[in-house]
Amino acid sequence: MTKPPDIDRNVGSASRRRFLREGSALLGGAVIAGGLAGSEARAAENTGNLPPNVPEWMKTPGDPMGTQPYGAPSPFEKDVIKNVSKTLPQYLSASGRTPLQDLDGIITPNGLFYERHHGGVPTIDPAQHRLMLNGLVDRPLIFTMDDIRRFPSESHIYFLECSGNPEYKKPYGKTASDLVGLLSCAEWTGVSLKLVLQEAGLQPGAKWVVAEGADSAAMTRSIPIEKCLDDAMLAYSQNGERLRPQQGYPLRLLVPGFEGNMNVKWLRRLHVTAEPAYSREETSKYTDPMPNGTAREFTFYMEAKSIITRPSGGQRLTAPGFREISGIAWTGRGKVSRVDVSVDDGKSWQQAQLQEPVLTRALTRFRLPWHWDGKPAVIQSRAIDETGYVQPTLAELLAVRGDNYVYHNNAIWPWRIAEDGEITNANA
């Protein structure tokens, strides 16, 4: 796959200056002319809370802190919740997607972090939970959670993404969450897996670590020893608090950049072996059929990917003028080095600004100032990572992999903006 053509690196800066200069005047005029739009404006007008009136919430004290011992979002944000399909049955094998189009920055709140489980969410008493480490080691060990927490800890920001995000044959969602909502990013705290393996002592011939979860599905995946001795972690906290049950409480494996189901939750056993386990999740699932009848046995890394989250499907532009295009990019291969944005259906591309920090195997937020002229448009983004890999179009993927592929779809997802401002999935 070739790299994109060179583009003017000053375009983004010039556009931003123009946005700040001209956009301020437009926004100021909008406030004078009537301010808020839609239901927010009607609600404010009906209650007399707009200037110069004193709003109702200034006339009486608010709720005391004691009524919310564990903080909760504003009631006006009650619709920002995980996206659980109403058409797909949610049995023991279930999923809930992150509402990416409603979030800012790169960190996913714990309550909105995507879920994927194969045997329901177990309720595990941490005092009775144990991690077994055996196989090709000098000293088989059994750890309590207190034992794990005695090791030196570390914290890192990493994304997690399901490899079926989205499937090739069903890329017809309306929103960013529908398409790639099986993606989230958090700060993880735990212990280096390398340190724990060194405590047991690896024997010659140790090439794989088979991780098993304590859920009813006994989720099992084989991890190459090279990854285990690199950046893999045993995580017990997420965004500063203990893991939630849906995320593997009290302990999960974290293998940054690898497909989501390899980050085994409710971790109970690490079996060091010379060969992979060839478990259900490595044979009948999570393999990639190729056009010639063969299949890719292991596709560990999630390739470079991006999506515009604002404006995006399910939203509507209320008026022409300046606005910011914003989205997220990520790669399992390291850092995102660049994101290009097209506002003319891929005919030309502009380089977007990457928001700091740009971290290894974490989400990266990108931004581009844009003037919508009120005419139909198709907007899209493509990520380039530090290896030089360029996010492909869906047509390019299909040309290489055929249409029997199921997982690892990292195609570009364009949004179509109609003249009335309605935004839809251009691939649907």
Amino acid at 422: E
Predicted pLDDT of residue 167: 77
Q: DSSP letters along 310-324, please? A: ES-TT-B--SSEEEE
Amino acid at 70: Y
Predicted pLDDT of residue 47: 67
Q: For residue 235, what are the CA distances in angstroms to 11, 123, 153, 265?
A: 42, 17, 9, 9
Q: What is the pLDDT of residues 367-382, one digit of tens each?
A: 999 999 999 999 999 9
Determine what percent of the chain falls in helix, strand and coil, rounding each to the nearest 5.
Answer: 20, 30, 50
How many other C-beta atoms are found inside a 10 Å radius of the C-beta of residue 316? Answer: 13
pTM (2 d.p.)? 0.88
Q: Within 13 Å, how many C-alpha atoms sit on residue 344's CB side?
A: 6
Contact 336, 304 (CB under 8 A): yes
Indicate the domain borders of the chain: 94-296, 305-425
Predicted pLDDT of residue 91: 66
Which of helix, strand or coil describes residue 402? coil
Q: What is the phi/psi pair of residue 197, to 5°?
A: -65, -35
Predicted pLDDT of residue 288: 86
CA atoms of 351 and 342, how far apart (whole Å): 9
CA atoms of 238 and 216, how far apart (whole Å): 23
Predicted pLDDT of residue 19: 47
Predicted pLDDT of residue 144: 98
Predicted pLDDT of residue 17: 53
Predicted pLDDT of residue 165: 92
CA atoms of 167 and 392, how far apart (whole Å): 15
Contact 258, 332 (CB under 8 A): yes
Predicted pLDDT of residue 89: 66
Q: Determine the topology of domain 305-425 in CATH.
A: Immunoglobulin-like (2.60.40)
Q: For residue 236, what are the CA distances in angstroms to 35, 76, 92, 104, 161?
A: 46, 32, 24, 25, 19
Domain covering 94-296 in this structure, CATH number = 3.90.420.10
Predicted pLDDT of residue 5: 37
Average pLDDT of each block of 10 consecutive residues along the chain (428 residues)?
A: 39 48 46 40 66 88 78 91 79 86 98 93 96 98 98 98 84 89 98 98 98 94 98 98 97 98 97 96 87 88 98 97 97 98 98 98 98 98 98 92 88 97 94
Predicted pLDDT of residue 320: 96
